[in-house]
Structure formats: C-alpha cells, structure tokens
Amino acid sequence: EAGVTQFPSHSVIEKGQTVTLRCDPISGHDNLYWYRRVMGKEIKFLLHFVKESKQDESGMPNNRFLAERTGGTYSTLKVQPAELEDSGVYFCASSHRASSSYNEQFFGPGTRLTVL
C-alpha cells in the first residue's frame, strides 16, 4: 500500500510568487491534515479535512493560504503571494476514518519551500 505522497519535494520561489503544494493521502483515508515546520521550530498544525470539508482550520496563518480537497481525495495548499516567513517544510498526513476514536496519522515526507 502506497503511503502519503507529496509533490514537489522541494520548491524555490521568489517573494510575491504563487506556489501550490499537493498531497495524496493513503487510499481510503477520510482525514487529511496539513502541518508546517518553520526554520527548525516546532511542527505546527494548519488544518484538517474530513473528506472534502474543512473540519478545523484554526492553524491557518492568514488569508494568503488556501487549502482545497475537491472530491475528498488529494489536497492542494496554495500560498499566494508567498512571503519570506512562509519558508519551511510542509507536511501532509492522513488517517483512516471519520470517527470519535483515535486514528493514527500517517505522514508524508514533506515539501521544503524556500521563499527568496
């Protein structure tokens, strides 16, 4: 079974440009999460999808970030326009089903974003 995949693995862009990150969760996983690690600090939660709906977007830093999950499969995270402080590693994770009990989150390898 394929794990969580993320594309691209690295992205280098200029300040003010737009970047779109993609995450493909494990097949059949209803829950999808985005996290971000900025410059060696802690990994921080951005948002959580249940299928195509945003369940919790309390961690989104500002309106330059737009996450979508059309059809409840893969997800994209767009940053527009990118700022220097957006540099970091963006992780995606998925877990099995929407339920009240704990489900393990499986992480992708991350996308390293550098904004110059």
Task: Give the residue with the Cβ less far from another protein, 9 or 73.
Answer: 9
What beta strand segments (E) does 5-105 contain? Answer: 5-7, 10-13, 19-24, 31-37, 43-50, 53-56, 65-68, 75-79, 88-95
User: What is the total count of residues that contact another protein (CB under 8 A)?
Assistant: 27
- CB 17 to another protein: min, Å: 25
24-53 binders of another protein (CB under 8 A):
31, 33, 35, 40-45, 48
Query: For the chain, what's the residue count?
Result: 116
- Give whichever of 79 and 94 is closer to another protein, judged by the CB atom: 94
Question: Looking at 15, 18, 54, 55, which residue binds another protein (CB under 8 A)?
Answer: 55
Torsion of CA 67, 68, 69, 71, to 10 degrees: 180
Interacting residue ranges for another protein, rule: CB under 8 A: 3-4, 31, 33, 35, 40-45, 48, 55-56, 58-59, 91, 93, 95, 102, 104-110
